[in-house]
Amino acid sequence: MALEIERKFLLASDDWRKSVNETRHIRQGYLCNDERASLRVRIVDDEKAYLTIKSGKAAISRDEYEYAIPLEDGEELIAKCAGRLIEKTRHIIRQGHLAWEIDVFEDRNAGLVVAEIELDHPDQEFEHPDWLGEEVSGDGRYTNASLSQHPYHDWT
């Protein structure tokens, strides 16, 4: 088990694009999602597939379990998530031993860009780059599980 401690922000500008170290394409869907846990299947760059269980409320910290699975299983499981899919391009910007993950969403979430940083403990200090906007860590609408069912395009 890993404890996922993560803070999430909107973006104030596009200046982050100059600092990108790495880029991946992600497709993911939610096979089930209830008040206790969510089960995500993710395919990265059409090459690797993972199952991820997250439990606990969508605050800053959640328990996370991740397992690599065969790509063929991943594709079959993704196909079962029709209507609950997320596609996004993830840009990684390393900052010391931490890393910003900047997700540029596609399809029904196009227009949404979110920056996340994974921390070792909830009150950990970290550098806030100029391109960082409003914090949305506590806002459940920005979880990917929620975006898969209530996409950004449907927000009013």
Q: Is 44 in the site for its own copies (CB under 8 A)?
A: no
Residue 79: C-alpha distances to residues 42, 43, 55, 114 (Å): 11, 12, 23, 25
Amino acid at 8: K
Interface of this chain with its own copies, residues 54 to 83, rule: CB under 8 A: 55, 63, 65, 67, 69, 73, 76-77, 80
Nearest approach, Cβ of residue 35 and its own copies (Å) = 9
Q: Which is nearer to its own copies, 32 or 59 (CB)?
A: 32
Cα-to-chain-centroid distance, residue 156: 22
Which residues are the active-site residues? 30
Q: Which residues bind its own copies (CB under 8 A)?
A: 1, 31-34, 36-39, 51, 53, 55, 63, 65, 67, 69, 73, 76-77, 80
